[in-house]
Structure 1
Amino acid sequence: MNLALWIVTGLLAAVYLLSGGYKVITPKQKIAAAGPHGSAGWVDDFSDGGVKAIGAVEILAALGLILPAVLDIAPVLVLWAAVGLVVLMLGAAATRVRRHETKLMAVDLAYAALAAFVVWGRFGPEPFTG
Structure 2
Amino acid sequence: MTIAFFITAGLAALAFVGSGVLKVVRPSAALRASGLTWVDDFSDQTVKLIGVAEVLGGLGLILPILTGIAPWLSPIAGVALTALMIGAVVVDARHRLTIVPALALAILAVAAGILGFLIVD
Flag whether TM exceeds 0.5 (same fold): yes
Identity of aligned residues (%): 41
1:105 maps to: 99
CA distance in 2, matches of 1:127, 1:88: 23
Regions of 4+ moved over 2 Å:
none
Question: If the length of structure 2 is used for normalisation, what is the TM-score?
Answer: 0.94
Please tell me the residue identity of whatever aligns with 1:61: G
Question: If the length of structure 1 is used for normalisation, what is the TM-score?
Answer: 0.88
Please tell me the residue identity of whatever aligns with 2:30: K
Higher relative contact order (CA 8 A, sep 6+): 2
Residue by residue over 1:53-83, the C-alpha shift from the partner in whole angstroms, topping out at 9 and shown as x without a partner, is 0000001101101111111010000011000
1:74 aligns with 2:61: no
1:41 maps to: 37
Structure 1 residues without counterparts, runs of 5 or longer: none
CA distance in 1, matches of 2:5, 2:65: 12
What root-mean-square deviation, in Å, do the aligned CA atoms of Structure 1 and Structure 2 show?
A: 1.1
CA distance in 1, matches of 2:111, 2:10: 13
1:119 maps to: 113
CA distance in 1, matches of 2:105, 2:86: 9
| Equivalent residues of 2:4, 2:115 under 8 A apart | no
Structure (1 or 2) with the larger CA radius of gyration: 1
